[in-house]
Amino acid sequence: MIRRTSQDIRRLNRFEVLRRVYAGPGAMSRQDVAAATGLSFATVANLTAELLEAGVLVEAGHEESGGGRPRARLAVNAERGALIGVDVAETSVHAELFDLALTVRHSVERPLPPGDVRPADVVGLLGGAVEELLAVSGTDRARVLGVGVSVPGMVDREGGVSSFSPYWSWHEVPLRALLDERLGMPLWLDNPLRASTVAEMWFGAGREVDDLVVLTLRAGVGAGIALGGQLHRGFTDSAGEWGHTCLVLDGRPCTCGNRGCVEAYVSLRGIAGTWRELAPDDERTGGPDDAATVAALARAADAGDPAAVAAVERTGRYLGAAVAQLVNLLNPQVVVVGNQVMDLLGERLLPVAYEAVGRHALALPRRAATLRRSAVPHDPVTRGAATFALEGFLEDREVFGPVSRMRRAARGGGGAGA
Amino acid sequence: MIRRTSQDIRRLNRFEVLRRVYAGPGAMSRQDVAAATGLSFATVANLTAELLEAGVLVEAGHEESGGGRPRARLAVNAERGALIGVDVAETSVHAELFDLALTVRHSVERPLPPGDVRPADVVGLLGGAVEELLAVSGTDRARVLGVGVSVPGMVDREGGVSSFSPYWSWHEVPLRALLDERLGMPLWLDNPLRASTVAEMWFGAGREVDDLVVLTLRAGVGAGIALGGQLHRGFTDSAGEWGHTCLVLDGRPCTCGNRGCVEAYVSLRGIAGTWRELAPDDERTGGPDDAATVAALARAADAGDPAAVAAVERTGRYLGAAVAQLVNLLNPQVVVVGNQVMDLLGERLLPVAYEAVGRHALALPRRAATLRRSAVPHDPVTRGAATFALEGFLEDREVFGPVSRMRRAARGGGGAGA
DNA sequence: CCCCTTCTTCCAACCCTTCGAATAAGATCG
DNA sequence: CGATCTTATTCGAAGGGTTGGAAGAAGGGG
């Protein structure tokens, strides 16, 4: 049983206030935040005071006054510290350094060798990439508020263990232990699905919406699920494995051993496969690099190549049918589609997919749901990983103590008068 | 934005305590409840006092003492009031009267005419059934704490409107308005999926588990979803429409107009259809009453009829493949299968289905999930409907006021000594 | 320079949980 | 049969949160 305490309310409200400030581009006042969150003004003032004291927010000038006291503008204090987000993907380790305003400051990408990769190699590469980020940006280690790391597959977040990797023969790898030693900074581990989702919640569609599903389409595919404003992790941290949902009974073989999985149709490899089916003699369809093949497909479709157009169309229909299942089952307000496949095929795919959703989903949940492309700036996975670190920092009891502690401090210090 | 307040904590804890008392068959002490809920003993004592004062609980004797003061046994006060649960189904209206211990006291079933049925007819029949329940049981209207009504299809719970019915040509029918007038008792409207799920949360597998999926298999099929101990309703109250998830692309036509839906394979009609496919010349497979056909199928399978055995087996595989999707996506701790199909085919179906889940789901979420038959006594839909009324009663601010109100009352009244 | 308007801060009130001391209620033993 | 022991409950104070409203702060306008 999880104990619910009033401090949870406080923590969630703190998140909420800060999310609004991130959302409003430098122009949020306390009043705006109160209106947007539905919290009382007193509470917003209280929480902002706390965030100001912690240096997370700063007051940046005032708004135009229409006769009364002008509102103070709240902004995130970018210089309060740095966050690092790392995306360990199939072929590379991508590490980025953000300031606290979640602006990308520096970026490093290190290729991973093909084939099976040992955990120690990833740890080494990751450690090196982080060191380089610190060196290049001249950031002191102590200024880093946390490092978020996204590892593919199933990750036991609490234990810090990678239970299973789709690409490598990893089993119960104690990543936290290995990385803690190497990095010496606060560390949060999770997987790319949940990273993308949390990025969406802070910086994308999730800012306005409480029930959303975030589809990640790249080498693998998955669905991050956020319901009631809370990320759903599942009983063993493995919710969101949408890729091996059966889309076509006895359809194409999938890497998982089954047939007809969603992933076999809307992942990079699946899309390349669809093109190959439709144009078996076209040598562009046969390359070993699926991302390159899909990029070629996009170009060919733009050029009016009939097989390519048909392949995109068919992919859209597959995607739509698969999304319809989610819409029926979860009745979300928004379905966000993101990552590589979107970057490559983007606008070509969504209209077809949307139309297919309409054919496959029931009227009421379909009308409720909108399908849209991710609006998260830059890479949602590294950003999401950094967001985990941000969330971790915001839960730090040293920095954000209980209210009474603040009050004692205020009394002791004695505020300087005007 | 939904405001989170400390009173929500109180309300949820009140639910939690009471759920434990229902779960422990007459043998729960305050200590047991505290251990089971993880709440502090003081809080449990506090909540119990409130429930005792409201007459919901009573102290029923003491446990054997092993040397110290004996523990008081807590029990639900069945006589505190009555609850009515109504299941409006395709072919009948089934109304049941429960005491507060959720024991069925009286039951009435009224057939509905085949074909399109008007809302007024359902309201009339329902009203009559409720009147009969009151008359037969000699229950005073004022003693009824609430009436829960389950209506098929999509129901706007807050508005009290049936947005869409799968059987009848209902559109935006203001059921609450119609029924309020007829019944004159507190009313809660919802659909059978969510009713079954909430029944499971209070009286079935959900007592021990926080993430569960409840499959309802009868004329239609659906999946009730409870995550983190909370029922998920979806953005427009229509989550759980699992029946029209695509199981076989371009498979059997479904009533919804698409092809290959889950419902076309594991609903009563779907199962009958599978049997018919396998034994087209067997006249037992062709009756108009699907429930009767499935009952015949169960008998034939028991008798060793090869086509019947194959039909059950195939149905199990379909079910397993469909469940695997849910297991992968949501990573629940338990999947409960219930309602008519289970009653008819029960034990024959689950082993095959379980095996198929194993083939179609990923290792980690599969290991986490158990598939089991509903353990909710009697009819989960009427019971769930009654449970909505129970929950409504437990939220009644007149009865369960804030803590301070209690304290004032205690001071004013002055408790009688021992 | 005073008044008016609007934003912020501050305080008291209220809600909820929990710790620990005090009280209650049997069992047991001398 | 009372003292003592053990365990269960009750009670009060403290701690963590939110909120409405009074009081203070900061401009604009006459």
The CATH number for A293's domain is 3.30.420.40
Residue A212: strand pairing partners: A226, A334
**Is residue A400 in a domain?**
no
**Contact by Cβ (8 Å): A136, A189:** no
Query: B228 and B367: one domain?
Result: yes
Per-residue HEC secondary structure of A248-310 comes to CCCCCECCCCCECECHHHHCHHHHHHHHHHHCCCCHHHHCCCHHHHHHHHHHHHHCCCHHHHH
Query: Closest Cα to residue B26, out of B107, B103, B106?
Result: B103
Angle (CA) B332 B334 B369, round 5°: 70
pLDDT at A119: 94
Higher pLDDT residue, A140 or B407?
A140
Residue ranges of chain B whose pLDDT lies below 50? 413-418
The answer to whether strand D lies under 7 Å from the CB of residue B69 is yes
pLDDT in tens, A95-116: 999 999 999 999 999 999 988 9
Is A248's CB within 8 Å of B244's CB? no
Q: Which residues of chain B have a CB within 8 Å of the CB of A363?
A: 164
> Which tokens sit at B98?
């429960």
**Is residue A359 in a domain?**
yes
pLDDT in tens, A276-299: 999 988 888 888 889 999 999 999
* Residue A255 exposed, middle or buried by CB count within 10 Å (0-12, 13-18, 19+): middle
> Which tokens sit at A98?
């953000």
| Nearest beta carbon to residue A242 from set B223, B227, B329 | B329
Classified as helix, coil or strand, A158 is coil
pLDDT at B90: 87
Query: B383 and B330: one domain?
Result: no
- Total domains in the fold of chain B: 3
Query: A20 and A90: one domain?
Result: no
CB neighbour list of residue A51: distance below 8 Å, 6 or more residues apart: A14, A17, A18, A57
Q: How many angstroms separate the CA atoms of A312 and A319, rounded?
A: 10
Closest nucleotide to the alpha carbon of A9, via C1': D17
Q: How many angstroms separate the CA atoms of A305 and B341, rounded?
A: 50
- Nearest amino-acid residue to C27, taking CA and C1': B67
Percent of chain A past pLDDT 70, that is, above it, reads: 96
Query: B188 and B217: one domain?
Result: no
Instruction: Give B269 to chain A, closest Cα distance, Å.
Output: 20
Question: Which residues, numbered 171 to 210 in chain B, qualify as contacts with chain A under a Cβ-Cβ cut-off of 8 Å?
Answer: 210
Query: A237 and A338: one domain?
Result: yes
Residues A3, A187, A199, A226: what is their CA dihedral angle, to the nearest 10 degrees?
Answer: -30
Angle (CA) A202 A203 A207, round 5°: 65
The integer distance in angstroms from the CA atom of A8 to the C1' atom of D16 is 10
Q: What is the average pLDDT score of chain A?
A: 90
**Is residue A253 in a domain?**
yes
CB neighbour list of residue B306: distance below 8 Å, 6 or more residues apart: none
* Residue B343 exposed, middle or buried by CB count within 10 Å (0-12, 13-18, 19+): middle
Task: Return phi, psi of residue B337, to 5°.
Answer: -115, 130
Q: Which residues of chain B have a CB within 8 Å of the CB of A2?
A: 38, 210
> Which tokens sit at B161?
């409107």
> Which tokens sit at B228?
């983190």
Judge whether residue A418 has pLDDT over 50.
Answer: no
Residue B75: strand pairing partners: B58
pLDDT at B248: 76
Query: B254 and B363: one domain?
Result: yes
pLDDT at B56: 96
Mean pLDDT of A114-141: 95
**Is residue A22 in a domain?**
yes
- Helix and strand counts by DSSP (H, E) for chain A: 15, 16
Is B239's CB within 8 Å of A365's CB? yes
Helix (H) or strand (E) holding A358: helix A349-360
Classified as helix, coil or strand, B230 is strand
Give me Rg for the CA atoms of chain B: 23
CB neighbour list of residue A76: distance below 8 Å, 6 or more residues apart: A18, A21, A22, A56, A57, A58, A100, A101, A102
**Structural domain range at position A301:** 207-373
Query: A48 and A124: one domain?
Result: no
Buried b (16+ CB within 10 A) or exposed e, A297-326: bbebbeeebebbbbbbbbbbbbbbbbbbbb
**Contact by Cβ (8 Å): A95, A382:** yes
- Nearest amino-acid residue to C20, taking CA and C1': B42
The answer to whether strand D lies under 7 Å from the CB of residue B257 is no
DSSP B39: -
Domain final residue pick, B76, B105, B120: B76
Mean pLDDT of A13-23: 95
**A169 interface with B at CB cutoff 8 Å:** no
Domain final residue pick, A76, A93, A118: A76
- Nearest amino-acid residue to C16, taking CA and C1': B6
Judge whether residue A411 has pLDDT over 60.
Answer: no
Mean pLDDT of A128-141: 96
Instruction: Give B3 to chain A, closest Cα distance, Å.
Output: 7
pLDDT at A339: 81
pLDDT band at A417 (very low <50, low <70, confident <90, very high): very low
Instruction: Give B359 to chain A, closest Cα distance, Å.
Output: 8
Q: How many angstroms separate the CA atoms of A317 and A323, rounded?
A: 10
Query: A175 and A263: one domain?
Result: no
**A5 interface with B at CB cutoff 8 Å:** yes
The integer distance in angstroms from the CA atom of A200 to the C1' atom of C5 is 40
| Nearest beta carbon to residue A330 from set B234, B251, B258 | B234
pLDDT band at A183 (very low <50, low <70, confident <90, very high): very high
pLDDT at B247: 80
CA torsion sign, A274 to A276 to A280 to A284?
Answer: positive
**Is residue B216 in a domain?**
yes
**Is residue B404 in a domain?**
no
Closest nucleotide to the alpha carbon of B8, via C1': C16
Angle (CA) B84 B86 B89, round 5°: 170
pLDDT at A414: 38
Q: What is the CATH number of the domain that holds A63?
A: 1.10.10.10
**B98 interface with A at CB cutoff 8 Å:** no
Higher pLDDT residue, A79 or A1?
A79
Strand C bases with any atom < 7 A from protein Cβ: 4-11, 14-20, 24-28
pLDDT at B387: 98
DSSP string computed for B164-218: E-SSS--EEE-HHHHHHHHH-S-EEEE-HHHHHHHHHHHHSGGGT-SSEEEEEES
**HSE, side-chain direction, 13 A CA sphere, residue B156:** 17
Q: How many angstroms separate the CA atoms of A76 and A52, rounded?
A: 9
**B328 interface with A at CB cutoff 8 Å:** yes
Q: How many angstroms separate the CA atoms of B241 and B221, rounded?
A: 8
pLDDT at B418: 27
| Nearest beta carbon to residue A365 from set B227, B238, B321 | B238
Question: Which residues, numbered 242 to 261 in chain B, qualify as contacts with chain A under a Cβ-Cβ cut-off of 8 Å?
Answer: 242, 244-249, 251, 256, 258, 260
Query: Closest Cα to residue A333, out of A383, A306, A372?
Result: A372
pLDDT at A40: 95
**Is residue B409 in a domain?**
no
pLDDT in tens, A359-386: 888 889 999 999 999 999 889 999 999 9
Buried b (16+ CB within 10 A) or exposed e, A221-231: bbbbbbbebeb
**Is residue A202 in a domain?**
no
**Contact by Cβ (8 Å): A161, A175:** yes
Q: How many angstroms separate the CA atoms of A356 and A333, rounded?
A: 18
Per-residue HEC secondary structure of B132-176 comes to HHHHHHCCCHHHEEEEEEECCCEEECCCCEEEECCCCCCEEECHH
Judge whether residue A413 has pLDDT over 70.
Answer: no
Q: How many angstroms separate the CA atoms of B264 and B252, rounded?
A: 7
The beta-strand segments (E) located in B339-383 are 370-373
**B16 interface with A at CB cutoff 8 Å:** yes
Mean pLDDT of A38-64: 93
Query: A365 and A274: one domain?
Result: yes
Q: What residue spans of A99-212 are helical by DSSP H?
A: 119-137, 175-183, 192-203
Instruction: Give B105 to chain A, closest Cα distance, Å.
Output: 33
> Which tokens sit at A409?
């401090």
Query: A173 and A33: one domain?
Result: no
CA distances from A352 to A146, A262, A359, A371 (A): 41, 17, 11, 11
pLDDT at A75: 94
CA torsion sign, A155 to A160 to A163 to A168?
Answer: positive
CB neighbour list of residue A301: distance below 8 Å, 6 or more residues apart: A308, A309, A311, A312, A348
pLDDT in tens, A234-257: 999 999 999 888 787 678 888 877
Query: B326 and B223: one domain?
Result: yes
Q: Which residues of chain B have a CB within 8 Å of the CB of A13?
A: 4
The integer distance in angstroms from the CA atom of B360 to the C1' atom of C17 is 45
Classified as helix, coil or strand, B44 is helix
Closest nucleotide to the alpha carbon of A407, via C1': C10
Place of tokens 């211990």: B101
pLDDT at B413: 43
pLDDT at B407: 60
Query: B164 and B38: one domain?
Result: no
